Structure 1
């Protein structure tokens, strides 16, 4: 384990910190999270946050296509690290032209961006097109990127065939066009037998969307004999989600220590 000391900003009041808490609902890629607010509302607001100054390989769209090298491994690394867990985050900057917010996200005292870069699963972008479009931890990110390159970690793996083996060629999704998937044929050949799959989304209490392995066919599966309440239509995302962190907690007025692999 690599121990990384990081600086945190001083804040005179809790309202000035900008740090919020939420639960990681989804991980669309190796540098992006969907964070759901800690609220008792029936349908919690949510925010999509891209880790500041990072660029992870791009996944193929679910409707079918080809990944960039190591895109799936990058996404799975971040998903396994934080899905369903409470995080503390702050938006560092926004890019209106692409309607995206970039921020720093902490799992406990661990800076997720530092962990991802240290493991080699994302590259560091030093500066955006506009001044200020940069992570407050850019110096440490660049240092860890060089270290990952030297060690051949993650996306920097130089082993022959490693990049090619990491690329998925997805078949057309059964969700976008049911004719792409022979459900009756699968039933005839696999009825009563276990199938290996990766759950990508829990739509509601009785419906999941999964990738069937090893072909990564994207399908929707209903739990037999169960009907759960529908979550209904989600309200428009609110500008602020989560619970604000007081200044005497993490990322308030003290230094902390983060761990990265």
Structure 2
């Protein structure tokens, strides 16, 4: 993909590789002419603030707690676009937060930011809180959609008593990274030979995936039995 300076306000096509939160996606190039994985770009949807998931390092240590509705917000966006082709552009870049790039992303003809906001899964950062040139091109419509979502009690604006508290995950220790507190033998004894529901968080290589086991969200690395693959250039 082109450099940031060259890519602002230019439209590109890519495929959604990962969704890290309810307002942030990792997009890879559809084609490339170099060895190794395709180039990728992390895009935060312009003018949105989704609830924050516990940070990956803290999640791996266990004991981390999300902000209310953070998981549901992330899952809404992930289910909507993971693995799909999108069109996107960088609207602006904020140097103060490590040069983070904010952009507009479309799935077919649907603006992802609008879909997230109208379903109540992110707040809209009002123009007064930003520099004049660091704002979504559709800020007025986003604010209108946010107000409607609030009125209808959608997503994070739920009016159901206890909904916010019930949405918070309290993560157990992880089997990936610092796994000292993870009871691997206990999990094996309780689950061996049984089908388990999980969400794939990362495909590490051709025979290894990292998943969240449901419903308790243990984060584990799974090796596909009987396979041996070449090591990837990057992990």
TM-score by length of 1: 0.81
After TM superposition, the runs of 4+ consecutive aligned structure 1 residues lying more than 3 A away are none
Q: Which residue of 2 aligns with 1:205?
A: 206
Q: Which residue of 1 aligns with 2:46?
A: 52
Shift of 1:88: 0.2
CA contact (8 A) 2:19 2:25 kept: yes
Deviations 1:149-183 (A, max 9, x none): 00000000010011110000112222122222222
Q: Which residue of 2 aligns with 1:68?
A: 67
Shift of 1:204: 1.1
Shift of 1:136: 0.3
Q: Which residue of 2 aligns with 1:35?
A: 27
Shift of 1:222: 0.7
CA RMSD of superposed structures (Å):
1.6
Alignment of 1:139-154 (within 5 A): 139-154=140-155
Which structure exhibits the higher relative contact order, with contacts defined as CA atoms closer than 8 Å and separated by 6 or more residues?
1
Whether 2:234 is the aligned partner of 1:233: answer yes
Shift of 1:109: 0.5
Q: Which residue of 1 aligns with 2:78?
A: 79
Change (3 A) 1:219 1:100: same
User: Which sits farther off after the overlay, 58-67 or 143-152?
Assistant: 58-67
Shift of 1:16: 9.4
Largest Rg, 1 or 2: 1
SS of the residue aligned with 2:16?
Answer: strand
Q: Which residue of 1 aligns with 2:14?
A: 22
CA distance in 2, matches of 1:152, 1:188: 43
Q: Which residue of 2 aligns with 1:218?
A: 219
CA distance in 1, matches of 2:138, 2:179: 46
Alignment of 1:114-193 (within 5 A): 114-127=114-127, 128-193=129-194
User: Which sits farther off after the overlay, 101-110 or 164-173?
Assistant: 164-173
Shift of 1:53: 0.3
Q: Which runs of 5+ in 1 are unaligned?
A: 1-14, 235-261
Alignment of 1:94-109 (within 5 A): 94-98=93-97, 99-109=99-109
CA distance in 1, matches of 2:101, 2:212: 28
May I ask how many residue pairs the two structures share in their alignment? 220
SS of the residue aligned with 1:88?
Answer: strand
SS of the residue aligned with 2:159?
Answer: coil
Shift of 1:17: 5.9
